[in-house]
Amino acid sequence: MGLAWQQGPLAPGAVGHFLVAEPLPDRMLYAEPLRRRMRVRFGGAWIAESEDVLLLHEPARYPVAYFPLDDVAAGVLEPEEHATRHRDLGPTSWYTAHTGDRSTPRAAWRHTDPPAHAAELRDRIAFAWRAMDAFYEEDERIAGHAADAYHRIDIRRSARRLVVRAADRVVADTKTPLVLYESGFAPRWYVPREDVDADAMTPSEGQTFCPYKGLASYYDIGPVHRAAWSYEDAWPEVRRISGMVSFEADRVEVYIDDARLHPEPGQSVVSHGLDRDFSPEAAY
């Protein structure tokens, strides 16, 4: 979650609201300097590098990094005849990326005549995330999408009793759960593997990817598909949940101190990653 994605304050599904007298516009775009050195790699070469990247937050989309044209390697991008029109930012031109024997169409785009209030995007270009080999901040690769400074995860241990039931079967019972708070989402409860009935869970096909936690594997519980998930090797920043199991409260019964947990606004998550068809065109 960030400013404009999932249940963020500028997203269509925002869980909060601005305390203002007059209604805000249905769509609000927010641009800000990234203030980090960002690089783009394509076809084994660095094709863009800048300390002047602008990050655009658009409702219901991941943040997008825009590079100054002068910070893109010469001869890499070839204009295409293909053009689109962004609903807020106007005419958009597309580019094919070339390096050596590598050529990828619709790999980058530019808003050629944005409105006056968005003029700072005029001489900037954005790269389709999946069309590139990789993006870096300094010498560390950034996976999934441009890093969102407004995304935060906090993990807290708890002594509350958590019980999970599927039909008449107790699937999990623990007094040492961890609760994960992720910007804008409802809390997610994680159970130590030793407190889960392993025989009740069957691995489910497919994984999803979270840019902030890593790869998630899923489990069926009886006939209930993908009723639980686990980050088997969570990223260092959230290592505490590695191997633990979390359960979908709308698919099985989850109780916290005997009170049943019900899905609430902000609970749903849009999957991202390996099993998501995210083509370059999906960016705009």
Distance CA 207, CA 231 (A): 10
Measured between alpha carbons, how far is 250 from 267 in angstroms, rounded to an integer? 10
Residue 120 and residue 165 in one domain = no
Is the domain of 132 the same as that of 169? no
Q: What is the layout of strands, in order, in the sheet containing 77-86?
A: 30-33, 54-57, 64-68, 124-127, 102-111, 90-99, 77-86
In three-state secondary structure terms, 32 is strand
CA proximity to 151, closest of 196, 191, 211, 230: 211
pLDDT in tens, 74-93: 999 999 999 999 999 999 99
pLDDT one-digit tens code per residue, 26-46: 899 999 999 999 999 999 999
Distances (CA, A) of 267 to 51, 148, 165: 36, 20, 19
- Whether residue 215 sits in one domain with residue 136: no
Q: Is residue 86 part of a domain?
A: yes
Half-sphere exposure of 27 (CA within 13 A, CB side): 10
Listing DSSP states for 54-122 in one string gives EEEE-TTS--EEEEEGGGB-TTSEEEEEEEEEETTTEEEEEEEEEETTEEEEEEEEEESS--GGGGGGT
Report the CATH number at residue 108.
2.170.150.40
Please state the separation of Cα 69 from the chain's center in Å.
26
> What's this model's pTM, rounded to 2 decimal places?
0.85
249 assigned to some structural domain: yes
* Co-location of 219 and 141 in the same domain: no
Q: Does the pLDDT value for residue 280 go beyond 60?
A: no
Q: Hey, what amino acid is at 122?
A: R
pLDDT-based confidence at residue 271 (cuts at 50, 70, 90)? low
Domain match, 53 and 143 both: yes
Residue 8 lies in a domain: no
Q: Which of 150, 175, 192 is the last residue of a domain?
A: 150
Among the candidates 150, 180, 211, a domain finishes at 150
**Owner of token pair 């019980």:** 163
- Asked whether residue 268 is assigned to any structural domain, the reply reads no
**Number of structural domains the chain divides into:** 2
The answer to whether residues 146 and 158 belong to one domain is no
Q: Which residues are CB-contacts of 240 (< 8 A; sequence separation ≥ 6)?
A: 155, 178, 234
Is 22 within the bounds of a domain?
Answer: no
The verdict on residue 251 lying in a domain is yes
Residues 256 and 181 in one domain: yes
- In the predicted model, what is the mean pLDDT of residues 233-253? 96
158 and 96 co-located in one domain = no
pLDDT tens per residue across span 104-161:
999 999 999 999 999 999 999 999 998 999 999 999 998 888 988 888 999 999 999 9
Same domain, 140 and 45: yes
Q: Are 89 and 47 in a shared domain?
A: yes
Is residue 275 in some structural domain? no
Residues 146 and 160 in one domain: no
194 and 237 share one domain: yes
Tokens of 43: 């076809």
Task: Burial-class residue 273 by CB neighbours within 10 Å (0-12, 13-18, 19+).
Answer: middle
Residue 115: inside a domain: yes
**Whole domain around residue 146: which residue ranges?**
30-150
